[in-house]
Chains A and B, each alone.
Chain A
Amino acid sequence: MNWRQSTFALPLLIGLLSAVGLLSALLGDGGWDVTAWIGLGVPAILGCWPLLQRSPGRRA
């Protein structure tokens, strides 16, 4: 899989998703809000999961 090799492909996609999320809730309620939750929720989850994983050979 080379999409993980490319340095900026995924960060750009995540940045774009965040921007859509930030703007979406400004435009309306309902679906617009849900789009915002997803757009900003994905980077929030991506930032959290590596912190929640245990290191091999290390006891948390």
Chain B
Amino acid sequence: MNSTTIRRWSQVHTWTSLICTLFLLLLALTGLPLIFHHELEHLLGEAPELREMPADTPHLSLQELVDAAERHRQGEVIQYFGLDDDEPNGVVAITAATAGTEPNASHTVMLDARSGEAIEMPAANGGILMVILRLHVDMFAGLPGKLLLAFMGLLFVVAIISGAVLYAPFMRRLKFAEVRREKSTRTRWLDLHNLIGIVTLTWALTVGLTGVISACADLLISAWRTDSLAAMVAPYRHAPPLTERAPVNDVLTIARQAAPGMQPDFIAFPGTRFSSEHHYSVFMKGNTHVTAHLWTPVLIDARSLEVTAVSRRPWYMDALSMSQPLHFGDYGGMPMKVVWAVLDVLTIIVLGSGLYLWWVRRRTPAIQRERAEATA
């Protein structure tokens, strides 16, 4: 690599990093507690706890649970029911002023499926973890915030790639993991920056790219709505508005028959962004480790309870779903979360040392610097 090429890559690395560093620091710092979201919820006492009842206490019907949720939140309607693998006696109910209300204005509770009792979930409704999550996802700025962070994520990816290119000339005379401790503080931190940057590269690229994909979720979901969902509900285009719904009670059984070998994960009620104006949509997930992240919606006519469409989602929705575990690190137990946190802290150190190296470098005149590097 000649010196002009190196200088160009170096400029790319400097500027992409500089622009994204503050945002990336925010993301890495807020991401750290989010890795342990589940544990912190329990620690803060924000995890919903159901009452002790005899093991065989029967469940209410789904329609009774809908009524219980809407009674609990006067003036609101049900948007989603989520089923929780870890809490078979609980149903997560999301309600809002209208079915089409945007997610940040929704309210989430857990319903005891045996009594209909609603248990508040502060972690999902403005508690401290929700504040951290919002800072991480959109900085309380909605879609523009998400897209800004997606762009910063892309700059981060370019910074990582240009950093890997620059790794070669910088390491030409050094052994792997060689840190020149006897030299200046700047040289020592340059070596540490290169070493930590290169060993965390694959992880940082993965978390960066899956973060960018997740930040584009709103765009992907609306593409799915106009492209795939619109085709599935085409026969309903001129149908009169839904005035009467059949009770939701049997939709899980109906969906299981329509998608054998899969299990229901959540129900989107008519009018929400995961359903049409005329359907209960049951999102089924696969039974294997990989397919458990991939959903297949079963669309059930909300008046006749007939299944009108079952269809795999397009590849970009699957990519969005697969990005979630790879971004959160919540798919390999506690040791995985700890490793994830360590790698996150290492990324903070790479970001911080990069900023420091830039600061020291710009205060040193170029000639002096070249002389120093020639002798380094």
Whether B289 contacts A29 by the Cβ 8 Å rule is yes
Whether B289 contacts A18 by the Cβ 8 Å rule is no
B186 to chain A, nearest CB (A): 14
Whether B289 contacts A47 by the Cβ 8 Å rule is no
B182 at the A interface (CB under 8 A): yes
Contacts of A37 in B (CB 8 A): 332, 335-336, 339
Which of A6, A7, A9, A43 is close to B199, meaning CB atoms less than 8 Å apart? A43
Which of A6, A15, A26, A55 is close to B325, meaning CB atoms less than 8 Å apart? A26
Knowing A22-B326, A37-B339 are in contact, say whether A44-B332 is a contact too (CB < 8 A): no
**Whole-angstrom distance between the alpha carbons of A40 and B201 in the complex?**
11
**Whole-angstrom distance between the alpha carbons of A51 and B348 in the complex?**
13
Whether A47 contacts B326 by the Cβ 8 Å rule is no
B296 to chain A, nearest CB (A): 18
Chain A 8-48, CB within 8 Å of chain B: the 1/0 string? 11110011001100101111110011001100110110111
Which of B176, B188, B343 is close to A40, meaning CB atoms less than 8 Å apart? B343
| Total interface residues in chain A, CB < 8 Å | 38
Contacts of A14 in B (CB 8 A): 198-199, 202
Whether B325 contacts A8 by the Cβ 8 Å rule is no
B216 at the A interface (CB under 8 A): no
B30 to chain A, nearest CB (A): 20
B237 at the A interface (CB under 8 A): no
Whether B196 contacts A47 by the Cβ 8 Å rule is yes
Q: In this complex, which of A3, A27, A48, A50 has the most chain B Cβ atoms within 10 angstroms of its Cβ?
A: A50
Contacts of B343 in A (CB 8 A): 40, 43-44, 47
Contacts of B51 in A (CB 8 A): none
A58 at the B interface (CB under 8 A): yes
Which of A4, A6, A29, A55 is close to B181, meaning CB atoms less than 8 Å apart? A55
Contacts of B175 in A (CB 8 A): 4-5
B236 at the A interface (CB under 8 A): no
**Whole-angstrom distance between the alpha carbons of A42 and B179 in the complex?**
18
Contacts of B346 in A (CB 8 A): 44, 47-48
Contacts of A18 in B (CB 8 A): 201-203
A49 to chain B, nearest CB (A): 9
**Whole-angstrom distance between the alpha carbons of A41 and B332 in the complex?**
12
Whether A47 contacts B339 by the Cβ 8 Å rule is no
**Whole-angstrom distance between the alpha carbons of A24 and B287 in the complex?**
17
Whether A33 contacts B201 by the Cβ 8 Å rule is no
Among B150-158, B166-174, B259-267, which stretch is in contact with chain A? B166-174
B242 at the A interface (CB under 8 A): no
**Whole-angstrom distance between the alpha carbons of A4 and B176 in the complex?**
5
B16 at the A interface (CB under 8 A): no
B177 at the A interface (CB under 8 A): yes
Residues from 317 to 376 in B contacting A, C-beta threshold 8 Å: 322, 325-326, 331-333, 335-336, 339-340, 342-343, 346, 349
Q: Which 8 A-B pairs have the closest CB atoms?
A: A25-B332, A18-B202, A55-B181, A4-B175, A47-B346, A44-B342, A43-B199, A15-B202
Q: What are 22 A-B residue pairs whose CB atoms fall within 8 Å in the complex?
A: A3-B176, A11-B167, A11-B198, A11-B199, A14-B198, A18-B201, A26-B289, A27-B289, A28-B289, A36-B332, A37-B336, A40-B203, A43-B200, A43-B343, A44-B343, A46-B177, A50-B179, A51-B349, A53-B179, A55-B181, A55-B182, A56-B181
